[in-house]
Amino acid sequence: MKSMYANGFTRIVIYWQVASSLNRPTLESIYSIACVSSWAALVSFHTVLFVDSSAHRRLADHVGSPLPIFSIGNLVVHGLPCAVAVYYPPNYLNIYSGIGAVIAQVTWGLAQTIDNKAGLFVLDEVYAPCPKKTWWSLWIVALVVNLLYPFIGPTAAVANPI
């Protein structure tokens, strides 16, 4: 069983965001991709509640955490990178930021599920078991957010002035 804490995508995004923010503007492209990815992770992680209201309870049980503690941790882990992206917006966002975020997330998803008996992009071993249809819905949400965020996200106007 893989651990959400060791293998979760948000952990990688936080590392990218911190590492690239320490060397801006040289790593601005990576920072831009990390900011986009943080929003895709936040939105997709919470979209699951619309299709499976017990998903966060199962995930809290899976990691051995009471639901209130899990919820606070979830807010910090998924919300803080987004807050950083708003407070310290990337110098630019464009379709390449979104495409880079898609490539990063799909590559991570493939790496996590390439030998998965449940199927590609089914992240039951990393998070909590969900129907395959739910996983595919969440992947679609994440990919759409990755591609649209550079144009409609809260920092789009700052990074893409008219």
104-150 pLDDT, tens digit each: 999 999 999 999 888 999 999 888 899 999 999 999 999 999 999 99
> How many whole angstroms separate alpha carbon 43 and alpha carbon 70?
17
> Please, which pLDDT band fits residue 62 given cuts at 50, 70 and 90?
confident
